[in-house]
Structure 1
Amino acid sequence: MARIFITGSTQGLGRGAAEALVGAGHAVVLHARTLERAANLGGLGARAAGVVVGDLSSREETVDIARQVNALGRMDAVIHNAGIYSDAQRFATPEGHARVLAVNVLAPYLLTALVERPARLVYLSSGLHRSGDASLRDIDWTQRRWNGSQAYADSKLYVTALALGLARRWPDVRCNAVDPGWVPTRMGGPSAPDDLELGHTTQAQLAAGGPDAEATGGYWFHGRRREPAAAAADPAFQDAVIAELARITGVELP
C-alpha cells in the first residue's frame, strides 16, 4: 500500500485517480480548494487517509498545504494534478502572479520544495506544452497582452521541464510528466474526444509504483512514453525554468 497525495482531487482527473487508488487499497490524501469542497467529497472523503485544504493560487495557502501534508507523515508519491485553463483566470493572485502560472506551475514547484520528498513525483502536463513559449520572457504576463490559451501552453511547458529537470537533479526520486489527453472534465468540456478513464490511469499507476515503478524522466501519454517538446527535454532549459521559479517564489529546491 502506498501513501499518495493528489492535488485538485475533488473532481475531474484528480478525483478519478483518487477513486482508482483508494479502490486498489492505497492510502490517499485528498486536496480541496475550500472547506465547502472538502465537505462535499462524500464517500471518497470518508475512505481517504486525509484531506488538506487550501487555494493553490495563493502562495500563503500553498505553503500551508505543504505544512498540512507533512503533518500527516511522509508520502510515497505526490500527483500534482490541479490545473486551470480559462480566460477568467487571467486576474492576478494576491501575490500579483497570473493565476494560470500560480496554480499550474508555482504551486507544484512550492509543494515540491516544501513537502517531504517522496519516492515518486507525477506532474500533469498537456499536449499543448508543445506550443509553449520557451523564451521565459514575462512568464507572469505583466507586459504582454493576455492570451489564455498561450498562458496555459506556457505553463504546461514549464511544469514538464520542471518534472524532467527534477529527474536529473534527484536520481533517487522517480519524476515523470503525464499528458492525460483532452478528456471530458469540467476543464476539457463535454465534447472532449479522449477517454476519461485513460486520462487518469497513467498518473495513478506511476504514483502507485506499478509496472513502470522505476521509470523516471519520462513524458507519458496513455501508458506509453512519448517525446516531449525539444525545449522541455533540454537540460539547459530545465535548469533555467527551475532558476526562474526559485526567483519568483523566493524558495530554493532542497
Structure 2
Amino acid sequence: MARILITGSVGGLGLAAAQALIADGHDVFGHARSAQRAADLEAAGHRMAGVVVGDLSTRAGVESVAAQANEAGRMDAVIHNAGIYLDPERIATPEGHCRVFATNVLAPYLLTALMHRPERLIYISSDMAAQGVESLADIDWTQRRWDGVQAYCDSKLQVAALALGVARRWPSVYSNAVDPGWVPTRMGGPEASDDLSLGHVTQAWLAGGTGEDVRISGKFLYHQAVVPTAAAVSDAEFQDALLTELETLTGVGLAP
C-alpha cells in the first residue's frame, strides 16, 4: 500500500484523512508543529508510521520537515493540508512574510521543491479561492493594509494555482487542488454548514485510491468532482508567474 505524508495532521481534516487512510492499510506519516503536539498525537494511538515535526510558518521548520520526510524515504503521496485561516493582526515570520502566506503557500511550495518527488500531490485550497486577488504584487503582505480574510482568500487561490502549475511542470506526477468544504473543524468554526464527514474524503481518495478515476491531474476538486474556481488558477501565465515569484522569495526552484 501507499506511503503518505499529511501535513497538519494532529487534528481536523488532516487527522480524519490519516485515520481513513490507515484504516485502508496505508502507511501514513503525520506532521505536528511541535514536539509536544507530536507526542500528543502518538499518545492518542493513531497508528502513524511516523511523525515529522516542524513549524511550517518558518523556513527552518519547513526545511526540517522536508529533511525528516526524506530520511523516512520517498512518499507515494503528500497531502499539503496544514494551513492558517485568520490572524488577529498581520503576524510576521522570522523571514518577514505574513504567516498566513508563509504557511498556506510558501510551505507547500518549499516542501514540493525539497522533498523526494512523490507520485501524487494534493494541495488543500478552498472555495474562497474564488475571492482571491489575481495580482502577485506584495504577495506576502509586507506593504498592504492588513486584511486577514483577503490574505486567506489570496493564499487559497495561490496554492490552487501552485497545484495546477506543478501538474504542468511535472507531467509524471498527479497534482491537484481540493476544496474540502466549509466544515465545522477548529478552523471552520461551529457555524460551518458543510458535512464534516465528507471534508477529508476527496484528498484521501486522491492520495490512496487505486482506480483509474484517481489518475487525474491539474484539477480543482470538491467532493470528488471537478468544479470551477477563479480563472487565474487555470491560467498558465499566472501559474508560471507565481512559481517564479515563489522561487525568487525562497531561492529554491522546482527541479525539471
State the TM-score, normalizing by the size of structure 2: 0.97
Does the CA-based 8 Å contact 2:42-2:48 persist in structure 1? no
The question of 1:251 aligning with 2:224 is answered no
1:228 aligned partner: 229
8 Å CA contact 1:87, 1:147 repeated in 2? no
Helix, strand or coil at the partner of 1:207: helix
Range that drifts further, 150-159 or 211-220: 211-220
Residue 223 of structure 1: how far off its partner (Å): 1.2
Q: Which residue of 2 aligns with 1:137?
A: 137
Change in CA separation of 1:46 and 1:130 when aligned onto 2, cut-off 3 Å: closer
| Residue 194 of structure 2 is aligned to residue 215 of structure 1 | no
Q: CA deviation at 1:209?
A: 3.1
Match runs of 1:53-72 below 5 Å: 53-72=53-72
Distance in 2 (CA, whole Å) between partners of 1:101 and 1:79 is 18
Deviates more, 1:148-157 or 1:89-98: 89-98
Rounded to whole Å, the distance in 1 between the matches of 2:140 and 2:118 is: 29
**Cα distance in structure 1, aligned partners of 2:67 and 2:93:** 21
C-alpha distance in 2, partners of 1:45/1:112? 29
> Residues 106-125 of structure 1 correspond to what in structure 2 (within 5 A)?
106-125=106-125
3-state SS, counterpart of residue 88 of structure 2: helix
Letter aligned with residue 170 of structure 2 = W
**In the alignment, residue 214 of structure 2 is paired with which amino acid?**
A
SS in 2 for 1:164: helix
- Paired residues, what number? 254
Distance in 1, Cα, partners of 2:44 & 2:51? 10
Question: What residue is the counterpart of 1:241 in the other structure?
Answer: 242
Structure-1 separation of matches of 2:22 and 2:89: 31
Distance 2:224 2:90 in 1: 33
Q: Could you say if the C-alpha distance between residues 45 and 169 of structure 1 is closer, same or farther in structure 2, counting changes exceeding 3 Å?
A: farther
5+ residue gaps, structure 1:
none
Could you tell me how far apart the structure 2 residues matched to 1:170 and 1:228 are? 22
The CA distance in 1 between the partners of 2:43 and 2:126, in whole Å, is: 30
- Structure 2 unpaired stretches of 5+: none
CA distance in 2, matches of 1:181, 1:210: 24
- Over the matched positions of the two proteins, sequence identity in percent amounts to 63
Give the stretch that moved more between structures: 83-92 or 221-230: 83-92
Query: Is the aligned partner of 1:33 residue 2:33?
Result: yes
Tell me how far 1:166 sits from its aligned partner: 0.8
On the 8 A contact 1:127/1:179 being kept in 2, the answer is yes
Q: Any conservation in 2 of the 1:58–1:93 contact (CA below 8 Å)?
A: yes
2: distance between equivalents of 1:190 and 1:210? Answer: 34
SS at match of 2:65: helix
Q: Partner amino acid for 1:247?
A: T
Change over 3 Å in CA distance of 1:136–1:17 after alignment to 2: same
Question: Is 2:181–2:222's contact at 8 Å kept on the other side of the alignment?
Answer: yes
* Cα distance between partner residues in 2 of 1:171 and 1:191: 39
Retained in 2: the 8 A contact 1:160–1:177?
yes
1:90 Cα deviation after fit: 2.1
The one-letter amino acid paired with 1:237 is F
Give the deviation of 1:44 after TM superposition. 5.7
Distance change >3 Å, CA 167–CA 199, structure 1 → 2:
same
Root-mean-square deviation (CA), in Å?
A: 1.1
CA change 1:46–1:230 in 2 (3 A) is closer
State how far apart, in whole Å, the 1-side matches of 2:153 and 2:51 are: 30
Alignment-derived partner of residue 88 in structure 2: 88
Q: TM-score, normalised by structure 1?
A: 0.97
* CA gap 1:9/1:108 in 2 versus in 1, 3 angstroms: same
Residues 78 and 122 in structure 1, CA contact (< 8 A), matched pair in contact too: yes
